[in-house]
Amino acid sequence: MTALSIVVPCFNEEACLPLLHQRLTGAARSAVGEDYEILLVNDGSRDGSWPLMQRLSASDPRLVCVDLSRNHGHQLALTAGLDLARGELILIVDADLQDPPELLPDMMRTMGEEGADVVYGVRRSRAGETHFKKATAAAFYRLLSRATDIAIPVDAGDFRLMSRRALDVLLAMPEQARFIRGMVAWIGFRQVPFLYDRAERAAGESKYPLGKMLRFAFDALTGFSSAPLKLASHAGLLLSLGSLLIIFYIAYAFISGQSIQGWTSLMLVVVVLGAVQMFVLAMMGEYIGRLYSQAKQRPLYIVQEVTGAPRQARAGLG
Ligand code: UDP
Ligand code: MG
């Protein structure tokens, strides 16, 4: 057993890697001496990340680099790294150094003082991110916390320190569409926040374009809440009330001998009904899609190569 594992998912992060390696090494040494490992997971990068990882790992026995067979996405790349981690404590960071690894000793102290199993980073501020990103992220975390039953912390990312027993519970959860920060919240044990200022990206650009962000948000919502499904019953109730009013109106007009015209109102009703039905169908589709992908039981990710021969045995399929 190692005292500490640091797990980092990397997608096209060539420009960040040398500094990342250096700062992680510094932070780990100051926290636990030499008893640590750093796991970099190459999530099917299309730049020179993998050759660079191989070179770095040739000169550092504490560096384990994992090459996935293709791009599996942030959350699955992270899962691959967590599966291979052997530490008693596990630190998750992003490759772009937005989460300062130098906070590790403080996080460990907080963990000890509070007797916590999870110390999760909460962003007090976010430097160098667009207004759009900040606004959508803020709205997303608030919507999520209203829609779910478990308390998923607001403004917390995956930057966190976990105990071995919390990680083992997390890894026992077999879901395919993973929203790890929510899954960790679900586990329970004692979890305490740790406020920090999020730095700018060290280099390169965000690997989360709008499409991926939306997918991520949907996975979170459908994975942790059935509120969207209940929208159907609310919409149904509302529309029934509306139709009752219209029926009264028609009856009144009929009795008082008026003729009712109205292409506009007719179209309005048709379009509104159609839209509501499609929306509800789409929501159900999201959940069915989840069921379908879960039913296939495919491995979560596929490892192509792991640097460091003795460790190769640890990596199998998924
Ligand atoms: N990432 C990944 N696979 C992907 C997209 C992102 O492993 O398909 C990694 C990325 O390299 C980084 C982390 O996920 O370490 C967070 O991505 P990023 O910093 O681009 O997201 P942002 O901070 O802009 O939300
Ligand atoms: Mg980032």
Whether 73 lines ligand 1, by a CB cut-off of 6 Å, is yes
- End-to-end Cα, the chain, rounded Å: 21
Whether 67 lines ligand 1, by a CB cut-off of 6 Å, is no
Ligand nearest to the CA of 20: 1
Residue-averaged pLDDT of the chain: 89
Banded pLDDT at 317 (limits 50, 70, 90): very low
Query: Among 8, 10, 11, which is best to mutate for testing ligand 1, by the most ligand atoms less than 8 A from CB?
Result: 11
Whether 198 lines ligand 1, by a CB cut-off of 6 Å, is no
Whether 77 lines ligand 1, by a CB cut-off of 6 Å, is yes
Is residue 158 within 8 Å of 120, Cβ to Cβ? no
Q: Is residue 274 pLDDT above 70, yes or no? A: yes
Whether 66 lines ligand 1, by a CB cut-off of 6 Å, is no
Please report the atom of ligand 1 found closest to the CA of residue 95: 15
Residue 232 confidence (pLDDT): 83
Whether 14 lines ligand 1, by a CB cut-off of 6 Å, is no
**Residue 30 phi, psi dihedral angles, 5° rounding:** -70, -20
Please report the atom of ligand 1 found closest to the CA of residue 94: 15
CA-closest residue to ligand 1 atom 19: 206
Mean pLDDT throughout 5-30? 94
Mean pLDDT throughout 279-288? 89
Residue 132 confidence (pLDDT): 86
Report the SS3 class of residue 259: coil
Query: Among 46, 74, 216, which is best to mutate for testing ligand 1, by the most ligand atoms less than 8 A from CB?
Result: 74
Whether 136 lines ligand 1, by a CB cut-off of 6 Å, is no
Whether 42 lines ligand 1, by a CB cut-off of 6 Å, is no
pTM of the model: 0.85
Whether 99 lines ligand 1, by a CB cut-off of 6 Å, is no
CA of 74 to the centre of ligand 1 (A): 6
**Residue 64 phi, psi dihedral angles, 5° rounding:** -115, 125
Mean pLDDT throughout 139-160? 86
Rounded to 10 degrees, the C-alpha dihedral 187/287/220/228 comes to -110
- Nearest Cα neighbor of 76 from 216, 214, 209, 213 is 216
Note the pLDDT tens digit of each residue in 152-209: 888 888 999 999 999 999 999 999 989 999 999 999 999 999 999 888 888 888 888 8
Report the SS3 class of residue 293: helix
Residue 318 confidence (pLDDT): 44
Give every CB contact of residue 202 below 8 A, 6+ residues apart in sequence: 15, 16, 19, 20, 96, 97, 98
> Could you give the ipTM of this predicted complex?
0.95
Please report the atom of ligand 1 found closest to the CA of residue 73: 8
Q: Is residue 91 pLDDT above 50, yes or no? A: yes
CA 254 distance to own-chain centroid: 57
CA-closest residue to ligand 1 atom 17: 207
Banded pLDDT at 40 (limits 50, 70, 90): very high
Segment (H or E) for 304: strand 303-306
CA-closest residue to ligand 1 atom 25: 208
Is residue 238 within 8 Å of 272, Cβ to Cβ? no
